[in-house]
Chains A and B, each alone.
Chain A
Amino acid sequence: MDRVRRFKLLLWSICGLAFAVAFRRFLLGLGSSTNLNDGTPWGLWVGFDVMGGVALAAGGFVITATVYILKKEEFHPIVRPAVLTAFLGYAAVAVGLLADLGLPWHIWHPTIYWQHHSALFEVAWCVMLYLTVLALEFLPVPLESFPRLGKIRNFLVKNRLILVILGIMLSTLHQSSLGTLFLIMPYRLHALWYTPILPLLFFISAISLGLMMVSMESLITSYLYRREPETHLLTKLCKVAAWVLGGYLIVRILDLLVRGEYLAIFENSWQSWWFIIEILISAIIPIVLFTSKLTRGKLGWITLGVVSGVSGFVLNRLNVGGIAMAGTTDSFYFPAWTEFAISAGVVSGAALVFLFAIEHFNVWEHPPRDEEDEKPYTLPRFAPVGTIWLGDPHTAGMKRNSMAFVVAAAFGFSLLPFSSLESKGLIKTPANSARGKDIMQIDANRDGFFVTFDHKKHENSLGQTQSCAVCHHAKLPADEQTSCAACHQDVYLVTCIFDHEKHKTWLGGNQSCTQCHPAGQNRSVDTAVECNHCHNAEDASLVLAVQESPIRMDQLNMAGSYVDAMHGLCVTCHKEIAERIYRPLHGTCTTCHPFVAEESKYEWDKLTQTTASPRWVISTPLLQENIDVEKLKESVAAQ
């Protein structure tokens, strides 16, 4: 049991870490916990948890079909573990899907809102139905411990064949329809992976993967519980798996030949090497190890083959689900560590349930025996630190595991920044000052789209040297050509400009608090005195320019965003003059932002597609003034 104990400790720790990550994911959303983007909306959670999970759960229908339909009774000892693995695999899919759905509380929608043109609709129904079927298939095992519910158990056992047939039917539909999902993206998926027979390939590979997964599960549990490995059965399973794998390999190669895409294997790109690696570890290595006279029937080689095959097919699902699209989407995506944590946590949770079921029900012929349980009453213990009562030793495992969970979760929380501002929703765009002197180029975010501002002309028309204060905060302390960007530091976000540290230093350090914060009151912005308490007419050197500016005193600490400040400054004046001189064009956006209409289509496309500046497009006055963007696009295209 020592191996199991250590393994469980590890699993509980991973679950704890995943708990912290899940907390954040469900509180703050996908953007805060994944690296997904519009180019790659399906990442690790779909590729591994959903597609990998379903494929790994294929052992259930393969083994039940072998035992109950083909009547190969020799495989009977592994039916229960296989069904349990399948059930937990599908449950893990459902949990992983909850994490991946943007609105997880809509997961029940496919049951009511039917969209029968969608492959995902079929997938959703198959998962739901097959999960139910698997639950009913496995239910007789735990029911053995409840003699009172014998009637239900008898009913389920009597109708087992129906459930088995249903299971095979739903699996066939479902394993293949996961491949169907990708049939709509022939240009997105690389030619080595995209094929019209993807559903067939998914189904065949699921059968072989199911066989290998059952072997792997048997190998792991026999290692953990120090049982005699079922080498005889495993050899037979692997032999069948090798046959299926051979079929898969032939179909895949033939498909490439028929489609004429086989040359892509030799084009020496990363995709071609990736394809070769995938085929090698998913099919060729297992086939060789399972059939060669030297290696078959030997536990070490079987283990190697099974591990290679299973990881190869998980890689295959990841490739189809995303990696093989990277070449065409041109968007970089590598899963965040939080995504790995959730995936690992879901798998660990399923493994823990599996171990629990093995230890408490007759998944095997007899549950494994724990020496700790067999000792009669031992003396109670006290924890060495803090001498807390640890209770009887029989719950020691529970205490140990829960402690591992708690510590790992706390560690996870410490790694995750818990502020919604940290998510990718608000990217900071530092503002830069304008370039030039007489004719200025104002391009605060340096994206190449600037407003041409004739400084000389404005100076002349507003009243020569006396006019600076019309636009500038001329009375800012020590103002010498202070750039707007000095205070309006972000293009879209407000900036706090009150420098607490500097004021503290000016006023005399730690003893100066009460000069602004009244004694005996809680110290905050709300209770502090207003700025003009000191910055008033009595001392001319301290008078703030802001008192004469349109900035409101109650927002004194905050400088508006650069865009808002500039627009407030320019547009207000421009509109006024436009009305006065009866020239409405003088007050429209395109007067200053001409590039929107004049720039080439390429520039426009660049502007609208840049992922970094969707807010730019929204905050552009162009859209605020209800100009029809579609029409504009069309006219640009016509030019």
Chain B
Amino acid sequence: MLEFWLELAKGPIFRFSFALCVLGLARIVMLSAWGAAKAYYAAGDKELPYSLIWRTTIHWLFPIRMGLRNRPFFSIVSILFHIGLIIVPIFLFAHIQLWYQGAGLWWPAIPRHLAEFLTVTTILSAILLFLARVWSSASRHISRGQEFMWPLLLIIPFLSGFFCSHPAWSPLSYNAMLLIHILSGNFILLLIPLTKISHCILTPFSQFISELGWHFPKNSAKDVEITLGKQGQPI
């Protein structure tokens, strides 16, 4: 029975979630580009310092130096978290083997020890991030439900994956652990284009748009209000 579910999770369910993830992200990018283009053509005053906006956008896409100035602990943990989160699933040898068997695709893998180290750092930093979010009242107040959920949800595939590669320490049988690992991974893939994790592809867009906003001419908000005919109302 467990084998049947494993086959299902590895096959149809994975293909569904992966396709939904890739196509969903492509959809979001296209919609954003479409919206941006539409706004650009609708805008009246297009005199903006574009070169400056580009430069600051790219600058803020790698916020290491600026992040360290403000809440350094949180920033470092967050960066560590992201490194493991991105590298391990993509460059784990066992995952590449699956791609090779299923689709004939192949790319270099990271060594096993590095993968294990990154897995542990990811799990620990996810816990720390969750605690930091709960601890700081400022963070708590601007957080939605999914912000609390995500670090905890992301721990599941990493922890189960760790137990899969160390079956001796595993509290469950190998196949049961593997099923948890695959299903949770599929679930995360499924949620990526539907939740805030879509920032993995939308960050450049949102960064660019917010930079644009910072460089709007003076009193442009008033103009927008007048154009919309909504003076004194929420927009």
Whether A406 touches B27, Cβ cut-off 8 Å, given contacts A419-B102, A510-B170, is: yes
- How many positions in chain B have a CB within 8 Å of any CB in the partner chain? 45
Q: Out of A20, A388, A398, A403, which one reaches B196, CB within 8 Å?
A: A388
A118 at the interface (CB under 8 A from B): no
Q: Which residues, 325 to 384 on A, are CB-close (under 8 Å) to B?
A: 376-377, 379-380
Identify which of B15, B38, B111 contacts A418 (C-beta below 8 A).
B15
A415 touches B12 (CB 8 A): yes
Instruction: List which B212-235 residues lie within 8 A (CB) of chain A.
Output: 228-230, 234-235
Q: Does B103 contact A (CB under 8 A)?
A: yes
CA distance A556 to B13 in the complex (A): 34
User: Does B65 lie at the interface of the complex (its beta carbon under 8 Å from any beta carbon of A)?
Assistant: no
Which of B11, B23, B103, B109 is packed against the most chain A CB atoms within 10 Å?
Answer: B23
Contact indicator B112/A521 (Cβ below 8 Å): yes
Which residues of the partner chain A approach B34 to less than 8 Å between Cβ atoms? 395, 398
Tally of A interface residues using CB under 8 Å: 39
A418-B198 CB under 8 A given contacts A406-B20, A410-B16, A521-B112: no
Q: Judge whether A469 is part of the interface by a CB distance below 8 angstroms.
A: no
If the complex has contacts A398-B31, A524-B93, are A377 and B20 also in contact, measured as CB distance less than 8 A? Answer: no
Tell me, in angstroms, the Cα distance from A405 to B28 when the chains sit together.
13
A488 CA to B234 CA in the complex, in Å? 75
In the complex formed, the residue of B with least CB distance to A519 is B112
How near does chain A come to B134, taking the closest CB pair, in angstroms?
20
Interface residues of A in 470-527 (CB under 8 A from B): 509-511, 513, 520-524
B207 CB to nearest A CB, Å:
15
State the Cβ distance, B182 to closest chain A Cβ, in Å.
14
Fill in one digit per residue for A576-587: 1 if any B CB lies within 8 Å of its CB, else 0: 000000000000
Q: In the complex, A398→B27 CA distance in Å?
A: 10
Q: Between A and B, how many residue pairs show CB distances below 8 Å?
A: 92
Which of A385, A391, A419, A521 lies in contact with B35, CB distance below 8 A?
A391
Cα(A412)–Cα(B16), bound, Å: 8
- Closest residue to B193 on the A side, CB-wise? A406
Complex Cα gap A28–B35 (Å):
36
Kindly state whether residue B83 has any CB partner on chain A within 8 Å.
Answer: no
Q: Does A417 contact B (CB under 8 A)?
A: yes
Give the CA-CA distance A524 to B97 in the complex, in Å. Answer: 8
Say yes or no: is B168 at the interface (Cβ < 8 Å to chain A): yes
Q: What residues of B have a CB within 8 angstroms of the CB of A417 in the complex?
A: 11
User: Is B30 part of the contact surface with A, judged by Cβ < 8 Å?
Assistant: yes
CB <8 Å contact, A523 and B19: no
The answer for the CA separation of A388 and B35 in the assembled complex, in Å, is 15
Report whether A522 and B93 are in contact in the complex, using a CB–CB cutoff of 8 Å: yes
A522 touches B112 (CB 8 A): yes
A520 CB contacts on chain B under 8 angstroms: 112-113
Contact A402 B30 (CB under 8 A): yes
Closest to A518 in B: B112
- Chain B residues near A414 (CB-CB < 8 A): 12-13, 15-16, 19
**Complex contact A510–B168 (CB within 8 A):** yes
Q: Please tell me which one of the listed residues A391, A416, A523 contacts residue B94 in the complex, with CB atoms under 8 A apart.
A: A523
CA distance A419 to B112 in the complex (A): 28
Q: Is A149 an interface residue (CB 8 A)?
A: no
Which of A402, A418, A510 lies in contact with B27, CB distance below 8 A? A402
Chain A residues within an 8 Å CB radius of B24: 406, 410
B68 within 8 A of A: no
Q: Which residues of A contact B97 (CB under 8 A)?
A: 524
B195 interfacial by beta-carbon distance below 8 Å: yes
Q: Name B13-49 residues within 8 Å CB distance of A.
A: 13, 15-20, 23-24, 27, 30-31, 34-35, 38
User: Is residue B167 contacting chain A, with contact meaning CB distance below 8 A?
Assistant: yes
Q: Are A386 and B146 in contact (CB under 8 A)?
A: yes
Question: Among residues 79 to 127 in chain B, which have CB atoms less than 8 Å away from a CB atom of chain A?
Answer: 93-94, 97, 102-104, 109, 111-113
Give B18 Cβ to nearest chain A Cβ, in Å: 8
B66, CB-defined interface residue at 8 Å: no
Contact A522:B102 (CB < 8 A) given known A398-B34, A410-B19, A411-B16: no
Taking a contact as CB atoms under 8 Å apart, the answer to whether A522 and B109 are in contact is yes
Residue B174 interfacial (CB < 8 Å): yes
Among residues of A, the one whose C-beta sits closest to the C-beta of B146 is A386
- Are B168 and A409 interface neighbours, CB within 8 A? no
> Once the chains are docked, how many angstroms separate the CA of A509 from the CA of B193?
39
- Which single residue of chain A is at the shortest CB-CB distance from B191? A386
- Give per-residue flags for A391-413: 1 if the beta carbon is below 8 A from chain B beta carbons, else 0: 10001001100110111011111
CB distance from B166 to the nearest CB of A (A): 9
Interface digits, B196-209 against A, CB 8 Å rule (1 contact, 0 not)? Answer: 10100000000000
B194 located at the interface, meaning its Cβ lies under 8 Å from any Cβ of chain A in the complex: yes
| CB neighbors of B among A110-159 (8 A) | none
Q: Which residue of A lies closest to B234 (CB)?
A: A379
B69 at the interface (CB under 8 A from A): no
Residues of B within 8 A of A405 (CB): 23, 27
Contact indicator B27/A513 (Cβ below 8 Å): no
Min C-beta distance of A436 to chain B, whole Å? 38
The one of B168, B196, B228 that contacts A511, using a Cβ cutoff of 8 Å? B168
| 20 sample A-B contacts, Cβ–Cβ < 8 Å, listed by A number | A20-B19, A385-B195, A386-B196, A391-B35, A402-B31, A406-B23, A406-B27, A409-B23, A410-B15, A410-B16, A410-B19, A410-B23, A410-B24, A413-B16, A413-B19, A414-B16, A510-B174, A513-B167, A522-B93, A524-B97
**Extra A-B contacts (20), CB below 8 Å, given A405-B23, A409-B23:** A20-B19, A386-B196, A388-B198, A391-B31, A391-B35, A395-B34, A398-B31, A399-B31, A402-B31, A406-B27, A413-B18, A413-B19, A414-B16, A419-B103, A510-B167, A513-B167, A522-B112, A523-B93, A523-B94, A523-B165
Interfacial residues, chain A to chain B (CB-CB below 8 A)? 20, 376-377, 379-380, 385-388, 391, 395, 398-399, 402-403, 405-407, 409-420, 509-511, 513, 520-524
3 shortest interchain CB distances as A-B pairs: A510-B167, A414-B16, A522-B93
Binding site for A on B (CB under 8 A): 11-13, 15-20, 23-24, 27, 30-31, 34-35, 38, 93-94, 97, 102-104, 109, 111-113, 144, 146, 165, 167-168, 170, 173-174, 193-196, 198, 228-230, 234-235
